Structure 1
Amino acid sequence: MAGEPQPDCLFCKIAAGEIPATVLRKTERTLTFRDINPQAPTHLLVIPHAHYPNAAALAAAEPEIAGELLAEAGAAAAEEGLSDYRLIFNTGAGAGQTIFHAHVHVLGGRALHERMV
């Protein structure tokens, strides 16, 4: 069922505390943690606790949580001291999505206009 934790989903396991992560922020509906394969000096992931395969599915089903992901991404960037940062939602394998649980990447800490991630 959409929104329900999936037993084979890495991010569902992280949200449930079954797999460790460097958690920076946690709300009732979101979790922010450091990416284990950073593509920039600061690379955070913000996920909903609810499982949706991508950002479009999340926004269609629960737009308030999608909005909360963006707000949390901005708050986490500010806590990391970033005034310039990039937010990325990959949707589909062809776009680089490797974990099919909606999430936003927060990238910063260097000039990102020099290289696309």
Structure 2
Amino acid sequence: MRHALILLAAACLTTGCPKKTAEAPTPKEETASTDAGTPAEDAGAPAEDAGAPATDGGSRAAQEACVDRWLKEHKLDRYGHPEGTMFTGGTPLFNEATGETRDRLEYVFARQPDALKACPATTTP
């Protein structure tokens, strides 16, 4: 019986655990969604009205920077809530019931219309 346990332990140690490399993203894939310094959830939904965020990459980034400054000046978190607010699921942008994700700027502008006035969308032709 003792020899069987030794053989079983040796077999387990030599075979090891199988690697599942297909499930783990490479570092390049992880940073691809955040190259501009914004999370992938913020990536552009099309602007349908004047209150929607700009879709042009440069003007979108400029508008986000303006909104971030405005939120910081007003002591609000990145979603327009008071600093320190906790969210179920980690973000108010994801609706767990429907599986839908909202654009961060649209969410902020709906909660804080003054942010849109301070940082209007500028579209370039």
In the superposition, the TM-score normalised over structure 1's length comes to 0.27
The structure with more helix, counted as a fraction of residues: 2
In the superposition, the TM-score normalised over structure 2's length comes to 0.25
Larger radius of gyration: 2
The structure with more strand, counted as a fraction of residues: 1
